[in-house]
Amino acid sequence: MKSLELSNNINRIEEFILPDSEIGIIQIDYTNHNVVIPMKIIEPRFKVIEKKLSFENVKKFNIEILEPWGEGIYINNYSYKIEVINNEEFISISIILNSGDKIVITSKRLSFLDN
Protein backbone atom coordinates (compact mmCIF):
# COMPACT_ATOMS: atom_id res chain seq x y z
CA MET A 1 0.00 0.00 0.00
CA LYS A 2 1.28 3.45 -0.89
CA SER A 3 -0.09 6.39 1.02
CA LEU A 4 0.36 10.12 0.81
CA GLU A 5 -0.03 12.49 3.70
CA LEU A 6 0.19 16.18 3.13
CA SER A 7 3.55 17.10 4.71
CA ASN A 8 6.27 17.32 2.04
CA ASN A 9 4.97 14.56 -0.26
CA ILE A 10 2.54 16.49 -2.45
CA ASN A 11 4.80 16.09 -5.50
CA ARG A 12 4.41 12.29 -5.31
CA ILE A 13 0.75 12.50 -6.28
CA GLU A 14 1.62 11.44 -9.84
CA GLU A 15 2.21 7.93 -8.42
CA PHE A 16 -1.45 7.72 -7.41
CA ILE A 17 -3.63 9.19 -10.13
CA LEU A 18 -2.90 8.00 -13.65
CA PRO A 19 -4.51 9.39 -16.82
CA ASP A 20 -6.50 6.80 -18.80
CA SER A 21 -7.34 4.82 -15.64
CA GLU A 22 -10.92 3.61 -15.47
CA ILE A 23 -12.87 4.57 -12.37
CA GLY A 24 -15.49 2.35 -10.79
CA ILE A 25 -18.32 2.87 -8.34
CA ILE A 26 -17.39 5.68 -5.96
CA GLN A 27 -17.95 4.69 -2.33
CA ILE A 28 -18.79 7.47 0.14
CA ASP A 29 -18.72 6.88 3.89
CA TYR A 30 -20.28 10.08 5.19
CA THR A 31 -20.11 9.03 8.85
CA ASN A 32 -16.35 8.43 8.82
CA HIS A 33 -15.54 11.14 6.23
CA ASN A 34 -13.97 8.70 3.74
CA VAL A 35 -14.25 8.33 -0.05
CA VAL A 36 -12.93 5.34 -2.03
CA ILE A 37 -12.59 5.28 -5.83
CA PRO A 38 -11.78 1.88 -7.40
CA MET A 39 -9.52 2.19 -10.45
CA LYS A 40 -8.38 -0.09 -13.25
CA ILE A 41 -4.97 0.87 -14.55
CA ILE A 42 -4.00 -0.38 -17.99
CA GLU A 43 -0.29 -1.20 -18.06
CA PRO A 44 1.77 -1.83 -21.20
CA ARG A 45 0.80 -5.03 -23.02
CA PHE A 46 -2.79 -4.52 -21.77
CA LYS A 47 -2.14 -5.78 -18.25
CA VAL A 48 -4.95 -4.53 -15.96
CA ILE A 49 -4.09 -3.62 -12.37
CA GLU A 50 -6.93 -2.93 -9.95
CA LYS A 51 -6.26 -0.35 -7.22
CA LYS A 52 -8.25 1.95 -4.97
CA LEU A 53 -7.78 5.62 -4.26
CA SER A 54 -8.77 6.12 -0.64
CA PHE A 55 -9.37 9.62 0.74
CA GLU A 56 -9.49 9.99 4.53
CA ASN A 57 -10.67 12.91 6.63
CA VAL A 58 -12.62 14.30 3.66
CA LYS A 59 -13.80 17.89 4.05
CA LYS A 60 -15.29 18.41 0.57
CA PHE A 61 -16.61 16.08 -2.14
CA ASN A 62 -18.20 17.35 -5.36
CA ILE A 63 -19.08 15.47 -8.53
CA GLU A 64 -20.72 16.43 -11.81
CA ILE A 65 -22.66 13.90 -13.86
CA LEU A 66 -23.50 16.07 -16.86
CA GLU A 67 -21.36 14.26 -19.48
CA PRO A 68 -20.82 17.34 -21.70
CA TRP A 69 -18.35 15.40 -23.89
CA GLY A 70 -20.46 12.21 -23.97
CA GLU A 71 -20.27 9.09 -21.81
CA GLY A 72 -16.95 8.19 -20.23
CA ILE A 73 -15.41 6.65 -17.11
CA TYR A 74 -11.69 7.24 -17.74
CA ILE A 75 -9.46 9.85 -16.14
CA ASN A 76 -8.58 12.49 -18.73
CA ASN A 77 -6.45 14.69 -16.48
CA TYR A 78 -6.18 16.00 -12.95
CA SER A 79 -4.75 18.79 -10.87
CA TYR A 80 -4.11 19.33 -7.20
CA LYS A 81 -3.47 22.15 -4.77
CA ILE A 82 -3.17 22.83 -1.07
CA GLU A 83 -6.36 24.20 0.45
CA VAL A 84 -6.53 25.77 3.90
CA ILE A 85 -9.69 25.08 5.91
CA ASN A 86 -9.94 26.46 9.46
CA ASN A 87 -6.17 27.11 9.51
CA GLU A 88 -5.40 23.49 8.55
CA GLU A 89 -3.88 22.34 5.23
CA PHE A 90 -5.60 19.74 3.03
CA ILE A 91 -4.95 18.22 -0.41
CA SER A 92 -7.59 19.19 -2.96
CA ILE A 93 -7.68 16.91 -6.02
CA SER A 94 -9.65 17.79 -9.17
CA ILE A 95 -10.15 14.89 -11.62
CA ILE A 96 -11.57 15.47 -15.11
CA LEU A 97 -13.10 12.39 -16.76
CA ASN A 98 -13.21 11.80 -20.51
CA SER A 99 -16.94 12.59 -20.23
CA GLY A 100 -16.00 16.15 -19.26
CA ASP A 101 -17.31 15.63 -15.73
CA LYS A 102 -15.27 16.82 -12.76
CA ILE A 103 -14.70 15.15 -9.38
CA VAL A 104 -13.21 17.32 -6.63
CA ILE A 105 -12.14 15.83 -3.29
CA THR A 106 -10.46 17.74 -0.47
CA SER A 107 -8.95 15.52 2.23
CA LYS A 108 -6.13 15.20 4.71
CA ARG A 109 -4.81 11.84 3.53
CA LEU A 110 -4.71 10.00 0.22
CA SER A 111 -3.82 6.30 -0.02
CA PHE A 112 -3.32 4.05 -3.04
CA LEU A 113 -4.47 0.56 -2.06
CA ASP A 114 -4.33 -2.86 -3.67
CA ASN A 115 -7.80 -4.13 -4.54
Question: Mind listing the pLDDT tens digit for each residue in 67-92?
Answer: 999 999 999 999 999 999 999 999 99
The reported pLDDT for the residue numbered 1 is 57
**pTM of the predicted structure, to 2 decimals:** 0.88
Q: How far is CA 61 from CA 39, 49, 51, 64, 106, in A?
A: 18, 25, 20, 11, 7
The reported pLDDT for the residue numbered 12 is 72
According to DSSP, residue 14 is labeled G
Which residues, listed in sequence order, are joined to residue 112 by a DSSP beta bridge? Answer: 2, 53
The reported pLDDT for the residue numbered 42 is 80
The reported pLDDT for the residue numbered 5 is 58
Domain map (residue ranges) of the chain = 2-114
